[in-house]
Amino acid sequence: MKILVVGLVKNSQLVRLQVEAEKLGHLVDGCYASDLVIQASPKHFEPLLKNKKFSDYQLIYLWTVGKRRYEWYVAVNYTNKKYGSIIVNGKVIDPAYQHYLTPASEYEKQTENGLNYPTSALIFNYTGFEAVKDKFRFPLIIKTSTGRQGRGVFKVNSSEELEKVIKENKEASPAFIIRQFIENDGDVRIFTVGYKAIGAMKRTPKIGDFRSNISQGGAGENFDLSKNQDVKEMAEKISRLTRTEIAGVDIMIEKNTGKPYILEINPGPQFTGFEKYTGTNAASAIIRYFESLKKN
């Protein structure tokens, strides 16, 4: 099987996937999201790739497509219909699901299914916060809609600080997530493949920071899911509810009560740090999952 990973090029994660794929007789290529070209005329429509052909790939994994996501959704829907390509995550080509690809739908699903998460609000300007401010107390977490790997995430202690963050980021971010701050000593990243948890790591922020992301200097260690079944079940449930086939589910355990809160479900999770701190072969699990999709 030939596999295309969108969003990974000359990256340690792509290398890991290539190594594990080769062991099982498969080939993995990567491309930038910006390599996509849409060719259209009154008589012809076709998505193209720089130096690659969509028809060559039996499976396309949308690791990250960023601001070009809607064009990529059109492209992979086309390749699925024309060439039978398997798409991961497959929900992006499901017409019944597609218009729900927003954090708002995740909050709705978590509420409907009794999953615990911090009180949150999705706003589009500071006036939006004025409408819901009675639901929050400072400090708060504010995240830009374009934030990733700990970037674009801020802890604010007043309305003035919140307004400043929104003003400084409104050009780059069309929306913001306001979130209740949970007292903690780090968070837990659970890695799920095919909606099943394959392992987890505890992430602790570096001194002077509130973000636990490994890419932001956080430290990692193995987290035993067998002793924390509630965390495992919560991660698997939210990945299935949101149809996120390969996910990094971030759960924070409140420092004083031990109560778990879902923070985020990441559809394009980093896994080299996870492999390092847990000893779990995530790359192999991903390739084997791709195999199972092809067989089925």
What pLDDT, on a 0 to 100 scale, did the predictor assign at position 51? 87
Q: Which domain holds residue 66?
A: 2-98
Q: Do 191 and 151 fall within a single domain?
A: no
Query: Does residue 271 contact residue 282 with C-beta atoms inside 8 Å?
Result: yes
Higher pLDDT, 281 or 68: 281
Residue 3, judged by CB atoms within 10 A of its CB (0-12, 13-18, 19+), counts as: buried
Q: What is the CATH number of the domain that holds 56?
A: 3.40.50.20
Asked if pLDDT for residue 215 goes beyond 70, the answer is: no
Q: Is 166 left (phi over 0), alpha (psi -120 to 50) or beta?
A: alpha
User: Any idea which of 11-15, 90-94, 205-209, 251-255 has the lowest mean pLDDT?
Assistant: 205-209
pLDDT tens for each residue of 177-204:
999 999 988 899 999 999 999 999 999 8
Q: Do 157 and 229 fall within a single domain?
A: no
Count up the domains in the chain and report the number. Answer: 3
Q: How far is CA 87 from CA 7, 47, 235, 260, in A?
A: 14, 15, 22, 32
| In a domain? residue 293 | no
| In a domain? residue 294 | no
Asked if pLDDT for residue 117 goes beyond 90, the answer is: yes
Instruction: Give the Cα separation of 262 and 224 in Å (integer).
Output: 17
Average of pLDDT values for 217-221? 76
Q: Do 194 and 169 fall within a single domain?
A: no
| In a domain? residue 286 | no
Write phi, then psi, for 262 (nearest 5 degrees): -75, 125
Q: What is the CATH number of the domain that holds 256?
A: 3.30.470.20
For the chain, give the mean pLDDT: 91
pLDDT tens for each residue of 65-97:
988 889 999 999 999 999 999 999 999 999 877
Asked if pLDDT for residue 211 goes beyond 80, the answer is: no
Q: Do 6 and 93 fall within a single domain?
A: yes
Instruction: Give the Cα separation of 142 and 119 in Å (integer).
Output: 12
pLDDT tens for each residue of 152-162:
899 999 999 99
What pLDDT, on a 0 to 100 scale, did the predictor assign at position 204? 86
| In a domain? residue 296 | no
Instruction: Give the Cα separation of 155 and 143 in Å (integer).
Output: 9
pLDDT tens for each residue of 125-140:
888 889 998 999 999 9
Q: Give the number of other CB atoms < 10 A from CB of residue 194.
A: 19
The first and second tokens of residue 9, run together, are 């090029």
Residue in the structure block whose two tokens are 């002793």: 227
Asked if pLDDT for residue 111 goes beyond 90, the answer is: yes
